[in-house]
Amino acid sequence: MDALIAQLQRQFRDYTISLYQQGFLDDQFTELKKLQDDGSPDFVAEVLTLFFEDCVKLISNMARALDKTTGTVDFSQVGASVHQLKGSSSSVGAKRVKALCVSFKEYCEAKNYEGCVRCLQQVDIEYKALKTKLQDMFNLEKQIIQAGGRVPQVDIN
Amino acid sequence: MTMEQEIEVLDQFPVGMRVLAVDDDQTCLRILQTLLHRCQYHVTTTNQAQTALELLRENKNKFDLVISDVDMPDMDGFKLLELVGLEMDLPVIMLSAHSDPKYVMKGVKHGACDYLLKPVRIEELKNIWQHVVRKSKLKKNKSSVSNGAANSDKANRKRKEQYEEEEEEERGNENDDPTAQKKPRVLWTHELHNKFLAAVDHLGVEKAVPKKILDLMNVDKLTRENVASHLQKFRVALKKMSDEANQQATRAAIESQLMQMSSHKGLGGFYHHRGIPVGSGQFHGGATMMRHYPSNRNLGRLNSFAGEMFQPVSSSFPRNHNNGGNTLQGLPLPQLEELQINNNINKAFPSFTSQQNSIMVAPNNLLLLEGHPQSSSPGFSPHFEMNKRQEHWSNTVLSTNIPQSDVHSKPDNLEWNAFCDSASPLINQNLDTNTTSFCRNTDFRSTNAAQTDFFYPLQMNQQPTNNSGPMTEAQLFRSSNPNEGLLMGQQKLQSGFMASDAGSLDDIVNSLMTQEQSQSEFSEGDWDLDGLAHSEHAYEKPYFPFSLSA
């Protein structure tokens, strides 16, 4: 059993580090993890749930605002949603999503329709990718706990 | 607050500092809430600026600091910032994902104490309490600075002239029907009245001139006329009480002294010893006694208020000192004087004219306006109206007490009679009890909240609702009507001239105090998020657990 736990912990550690290295996560995510403790054991999961909900909501707002069939495109509307997504993604440490929002915002300000549509598509792909990755990470955590082990603190140097 | 009590509260600070967090982004709000909890602040959250305003307006003493996001759909964060600064004068910290300096500038211009960029780090939040301290310090400095200037001789002379000039004006006013109110009415809130008291205190009641008071108070849109009429009422009430005290004290003093001082100088010596006119001397003495105990400030106010309220009708009620309930009926001071005379006539009560001011008349319109806007004659409201209010209040309180009404650990009349008989020392006991349990709540309360010290039980019941278990309906009700309950309560005390009512009020106070204590016990150290999530349920959207299955 110990060998299994050790193996799972190693896997978990490696996987987490890779997420940082690939730019999915940044320091802010580490900070979030620090806030999780015995008093709030599911804090990170809760916050990420909220974040992904926000993503869905905001992306649909953006899509609606960029919909040419309803009339002229309201770039300020798009910009507002992008701005909010930027805020929440930076708060959870979703590095790639945040970076996308920065360029997305620039396109909005330039009223570059194609640029905005492209960014919207990318944001959609990006947040879903992150969600999958994090799900895998949480699954690993779950396995470790089920095997009777403790989830290790991963030090991102 | 006494020095010890102030220190006690400060020791806790910034732990328990009450923060209101506003952000329409639920992710950020959740994170902010957790960060603030980690700093050991007491947090209330809302994702709507409008709700935040309502919360603040409901009771401005409920929060020490506001943190708000800039971009919100229902109201611009800067607008909220402005309104909070204007109406409540609380420190506001702005939060934004905009790092653009022009936004920062905008924040500063609108009066923000600080501007934080998202993502917020906990280190930044650990120091935000400095804004609360700074703000309260500024307020104190303002009044003492203007007071210092007023002490020069030249200013004194000028003031005297002004005073005489204004005195004539006021005498003219007194000829009018004193119950007639000028329109538009100024709502003399607790906070406003406190400022008024502080100003008069600084100036000294003899030299308190409306213009000077107005300057010290430094309140926007308050006119000299508002202050003048307020001051006039206050003076009238003081005079009445002083006269009342005179008569009472003289009579009682003679009796007691004849008994005590048989071997001494006798009556002549007694009078001589007292020096100052009996009434005002005793009054000052009473004031002095009361000054020492923070709650007595309010006792004084209640008494004075009662005095003002009931002087005209007091003749219809028997002055029965044995009836405990009668004490607050409207003749509290005379009884107080009497007992002090009996106990300790030889203690030279210094005549602190300034202290006399601490027995402030809570103007009738203060309570009546807030509680019952329809009342038109604040100074002389009919007896029956008071009854209605006190019934309503006791009904209100009783109904909210239903969940825990079986907790009556204290003896029935202890507090009530103690309060009646010799207000000062025992009130202090009450306050101590309240303060300790209050501190256990790990809540920081600004000294402005001292306004309602005696009714800590009522107000404090609203505190635990934020950090204890699920909010019951009763708790919600209480927290949504803090002022009304408090004000009614104050009125109830004053109108407690019926012996039967004294008992019921006492029960209420008892059960409230014990209820509050048991609640605070529960919530002690209860910082865990689940509890908080429940209590803040009203403001947060429920979240769905992060689904681990694809």
Partners of residue A54 in chain B, C-beta under 8 Å: 25-27
The residue that leads in pLDDT, A108 or B375, is: A108
Partnered with residue A94 across adjacent β-strands are A25
Query: What's the DSSP call for residue B63?
Result: -
Contact assessment for residue A141 and residue A48, using Cβ atoms and an 8 Å cutoff = no
Q: Does ipTM exceed 0.90?
A: yes
Taking CB atoms and an 8 Å limit, are B548 and A43 in contact across chains?
Answer: no
The nearest CA of chain A is from the CA of B120 a distance in Å of: 7
B53 HSE (CA, 13 A, CB side): 17
Partners of residue B24 in chain A, C-beta under 8 Å: 84
Segment B378-387 mean pLDDT: 42
Taking CB atoms and an 8 Å limit, are A54 and B25 in contact across chains?
Answer: yes
Determine the pLDDT at residue B161: 60
Chain B residue with CA closest to A134: the answer is B548
Residue B234 has pLDDT above 60, yes or no: yes
Q: Which residue has the tokens 């003679």?
A: B254
Q: Which of A39, A90, A138 sits opposite B119 (nearest CB)?
A: A90
The residue that leads in pLDDT, B72 or B262, is: B72
Determine the pLDDT at residue B474: 44
Determine the pLDDT at residue B151: 52
The pLDDT tens digits of the residues spanning B157-174 come to: 555 565 555 555 555 444
Determine the pLDDT at residue B168: 53
Contact assessment for residue B364 and residue B232, using Cβ atoms and an 8 Å cutoff = no
Determine the pLDDT at residue A136: 95
Q: Which residue has the tokens 């004193």?
A: B178
Segment A57-79 mean pLDDT: 90
Taking CB atoms and an 8 Å limit, are A51 and B544 in contact across chains?
Answer: no
Residues of A with CB under 8 A from a CB of B: 28, 31-32, 35, 39-40, 42-43, 45-54, 80, 83-84, 86-88, 90-93, 132, 135, 138-139, 142
- In angstroms, rounded to a whole number, what is the distance separating the alpha carbons of residues B480 and B249? 44
Q: Which of A39, A86, A88 sits opposite B529 (nearest CB)?
A: A39
Alpha helices in B110-152 (DSSP H): 122-126, 129-150
Phi, psi of B419 (to 5 degrees): -60, -45
Partnered with residue B95 across adjacent β-strands are B69, B116
Coil, strand or helix at B22:
strand
Alpha helices in A22-153 (DSSP H): 27-35, 43-65, 75-92, 95-109, 113-146
C-alpha separations of B446 from A79, B90, B145, B411 in Å: 41, 11, 22, 31
Contact assessment for residue A110 and residue A43, using Cβ atoms and an 8 Å cutoff = no
Looking at every residue in chain B, the average pLDDT score rounds to: 60
3-state helix, strand, coil in chain A (%, to 5): 80, 5, 20
Question: What is the Cα A99 distance to its own chain's centre?
Answer: 11
Partnered with residue B116 across adjacent β-strands are B95
- In angstroms, rounded to a whole number, what is the distance separating the alpha carbons of residues B139 and B137? 5
Interchain contact B550–A (C-beta under 8 A): yes
Interchain contact B529–A (C-beta under 8 A): yes
Interchain contact B117–A (C-beta under 8 A): no
Interchain contact B100–A (C-beta under 8 A): no
Taking CB atoms and an 8 Å limit, are B118 and A47 in contact across chains?
Answer: no
Query: What's the DSSP call for residue A94?
Result: B
Partners of residue A52 in chain B, C-beta under 8 Å: 546
Contact assessment for residue B31 and residue B77, using Cβ atoms and an 8 Å cutoff = no
Pairs of residues, one from chain A and one from chain B, whose beta carbons lie less than 8 Å apart: 86
Contact assessment for residue B298 and residue B454, using Cβ atoms and an 8 Å cutoff = yes
The residue that leads in pLDDT, B367 or A110, is: A110
Interchain contact B352–A (C-beta under 8 A): no
Q: By percentage, how much of chain B surpasses pLDDT 90?
A: 9
Determine the pLDDT at residue B429: 41
- In angstroms, rounded to a whole number, what is the distance separating the alpha carbons of residues B338 and B325? 17
The nearest CA of chain B is from the CA of A1 a distance in Å of: 24
Residue B242 has pLDDT above 60, yes or no: yes
Segment B86-96 mean pLDDT: 88
Torsion sign, CA atoms B285, B286, B291, B293: positive
Contact assessment for residue B286 and residue B359, using Cβ atoms and an 8 Å cutoff = yes
Tokens of B62: 């409920």
The pLDDT tens digits of the residues spanning B189-211 come to: 878 888 888 888 888 877 888 88
Angle at B488 between CA B483 and CA B491, to 5 degrees: 130
- In angstroms, rounded to a whole number, what is the distance separating the alpha carbons of residues B334 and B358? 17
Interchain contact B548–A (C-beta under 8 A): yes
Tokens of A149: 């082990």
Query: What's the DSSP call for residue B450?
Result: G
- Torsion, Cα of A79, A84, A85, A86 (10° steps): 90
Coil, strand or helix at B359:
coil
Question: What is the Cα B234 distance to its own chain's centre?
Answer: 17
* Segment of B221-230, B379-388, B491-500 carrying the highest mean pLDDT: B221-230
Segment A84-99 mean pLDDT: 94
- In angstroms, rounded to a whole number, what is the distance separating the alpha carbons of residues B323 and B238? 25
The pLDDT tens digits of the residues spanning B394-425 come to: 444 444 444 443 444 444 444 444 444 444 44
Question: What is the Cα B203 distance to its own chain's centre?
Answer: 21
Provide the pLDDT confidence category of residue B155 given band limits of 50, 70 and 90.
low
Give the neighbor-by-neighbor strand order of the sheet with B65-69: B42-46, B18-22, B65-69, B92-96, B114-117
The pLDDT tens digits of the residues spanning B265-317 come to: 444 444 444 444 443 434 344 334 444 444 444 444 444 444 444 444 434 44
Looking at every residue in chain A, the average pLDDT score rounds to: 92
Chain B residue with CA closest to A55: the answer is B27
- In angstroms, rounded to a whole number, what is the distance separating the alpha carbons of residues B336 and B339? 5
The pLDDT tens digits of the residues spanning A93-144 come to: 999 999 999 999 999 999 999 999 999 999 999 999 999 999 999 999 999 9
Residue B23 has pLDDT above 90, yes or no: yes
Taking CB atoms and an 8 Å limit, are B28 and A91 in contact across chains?
Answer: yes
Q: Which residue has the tokens 């300034």?
A: B354
Q: Which of B25, B119, B543 sits opposite A84 (nearest CB)?
A: B25
The pLDDT tens digits of the residues spanning B309-356 come to: 444 443 444 444 444 434 434 344 444 444 444 444 444 444 444 444
Coil, strand or helix at B187:
coil
Angle at A41 between CA A38 and CA A46, to 5 degrees: 150
The nearest CA of chain A is from the CA of B71 a distance in Å of: 8
Taking CB atoms and an 8 Å limit, are A53 and B119 in contact across chains?
Answer: no
Q: Which residues contact B367 (CB under 8 A, 6 or more apart)?
A: B305, B487, B490, B491
Contact assessment for residue B49 and residue B72, using Cβ atoms and an 8 Å cutoff = yes
Looking at A30-34, B63-67, B113-117, B389-393, which range is the least confident one? B389-393
Query: What's the DSSP call for residue B527?
Result: -
C-alpha separations of A39 from B38, B45, B247, B543, B546 in Å: 11, 19, 64, 18, 18
Taking CB atoms and an 8 Å limit, are A88 and B25 in contact across chains?
Answer: yes
Determine the pLDDT at residue B160: 58
Segment B138-160 mean pLDDT: 63
The Cβ of residue A35 has, within 10 Å, a number of other Cβ atoms equal to 18
Q: Which residues contact B209 (CB under 8 A, 6 or more apart)?
A: B159, B162, B163, B166, B203
Partners of residue B27 in chain A, C-beta under 8 Å: 47, 50-51, 54, 88, 91-92
Residue B441 has pLDDT above 50, yes or no: no
Q: How many distinct helices (H) and strands (E) make up chain A?
A: 6, 0
Contact assessment for residue B330 and residue B311, using Cβ atoms and an 8 Å cutoff = yes
Residue B254 has pLDDT above 80, yes or no: no
Partners of residue B26 in chain A, C-beta under 8 Å: 50, 53-54
Residue B32 has pLDDT above 80, yes or no: yes
Partners of residue A78 in chain B, C-beta under 8 Å: none
Instruction: Pick the closest to residue B46 from B545, B541, B549 (CA basis).
Output: B541
Interchain contact B133–A (C-beta under 8 A): no
Helix axes B267-274, B224-260, angle to 10 degrees: 150
Coil, strand or helix at B117:
strand
The nearest CA of chain B is from the CA of A3 a distance in Å of: 25
Partners of residue B543 in chain A, C-beta under 8 Å: 46, 49-50, 53
Peptide bond between residue B411 and the one before it cis (omega within 30 degrees of 0): no
Segment B27-56 mean pLDDT: 92
Question: What is the Cα A156 distance to its own chain's centre?
Answer: 18
